[in-house]
Amino acid sequence: MDSIVAVEEIDGDFAGRVVFTCEHASAELPEPWTWPGADRWLVDTHWASDIGAAAFTRRAAQLMNAPAVLSRFSRLLVDPNRPLDSETLFRESAEGRTVHLNEALLEAERSRRIDRFYVPYHAAVSAMVEKSRGDTVFAIHTFTDNYEGEARALEIGVLFDHDEEPAYQLVRHLEAAGFHVAANEPWSGKAGLAYSPVRHAREFGRCALEIEARQDLIVDEPFAARLAEALTSFFS
């Protein structure tokens, strides 16, 4: 089992406040996996990865000199932001269409993907959070502006489970910076959809936050720069 393929690790100041994670950073299928022809439509969509999340994670990590862990595999291969018993650990449908990559998976194939990607990803995050003296595990995700026909006006969501006070501090901070923000939208951390940061924060007694930025905005340079600066000032 080689974790080098599973993750990208960014070094940083382990005395700083934050460790970044990006669970849906890549749309890649490492060898020997390949996209079935009928699934090619998924590759450049939000189903395969969180569009813009990897670039923004690297940007924020560089600006804050913070350590970070990013996935190097598609969330459709196995989703590291889900617990092992989740029905969407291996997503079987998207927009009403079958995800053939995950059709009728045998237990041996499920275990192979978990061992090859899921386990090394979480091992890398655990090691980085344990090494850090920071107080926050901060996951960066993005969401589509149109989800199965539903248009979304929200710019940024702040997801949390138990860490309500720091989450609302961040919400207020981003609102003051001029962003349209909501807590636990468009998904809720209380519904288990911030699984990875919550898992590792609890493991080491840290705070867990996850940000969801709208994909059409996070790829816009002025918006990304404003958001990165706002996060930097929040953690300074």
The pLDDT, as a whole number, for residue 151 is 82
Q: Using 50, 70 and 90 to split pLDDT, how confident is the model at 102?
A: very high
Question: Percentage of residues in the chain with pLDDT exceeding 70?
Answer: 98
Instruction: Say which residue the tokens 């926050």 belong to.
Output: 136
The pLDDT, as a whole number, for residue 1 is 43
CA distance 92 to 138: 28
Instruction: Say which residue the tokens 């275990």 belong to.
Output: 111
CA distance 224 to 227: 5
Whether this model's pTM surpasses 0.85: yes
- Is pLDDT above 80 for 17? yes
- Is pLDDT above 90 for 150? no
The pLDDT, as a whole number, for residue 221 is 98
* Cβ partners under 8 Å of residue 178, min gap 6: 226
Query: Which DSSP state fits 72?
Result: -
The pLDDT, as a whole number, for residue 147 is 78
The angle at the Cα of 187, spanning 88 to 159, to the nearest 5 degrees, equals: 115
Q: Which helix (H) or strand (E) holds 228?
A: helix 221-235
Q: What token pair was written down for 68?
A: 């970070």
The pLDDT, as a whole number, for residue 117 is 98
Rounded to 10 degrees, what is the CA torsion of 86, 33, 74, 89?
0
Give the torsion sign (CA, 23, 24, 25, 28).
positive
Mean pLDDT across 191-196: 96
- Is pLDDT above 80 for 3? no
Q: Using 50, 70 and 90 to split pLDDT, how confident is the model at 4?
A: low
Q: What is the pLDDT of residues 20-62, one digit of tens each?
A: 999 999 999 999 999 999 999 999 999 999 999 999 999 999 9
Mean pLDDT across 148-158: 88
Give alpha helix (H) positions in 104-214: 107-113, 119-131, 164-176, 195-204
Residue type, 64: M
Mean pLDDT across 91-101: 96
If you classify domain 3-235 with CATH, what class do you get?
A: alpha beta
Query: Which DSSP state fits 206?
Result: -
Q: Using 50, 70 and 90 to split pLDDT, how confident is the model at 157?
A: very high
Domain boundaries, the chain: 3-235
Q: What token pair was written down for 159?
A: 């997801």
How many Å is the Cα radius of gyration of the chain? 17
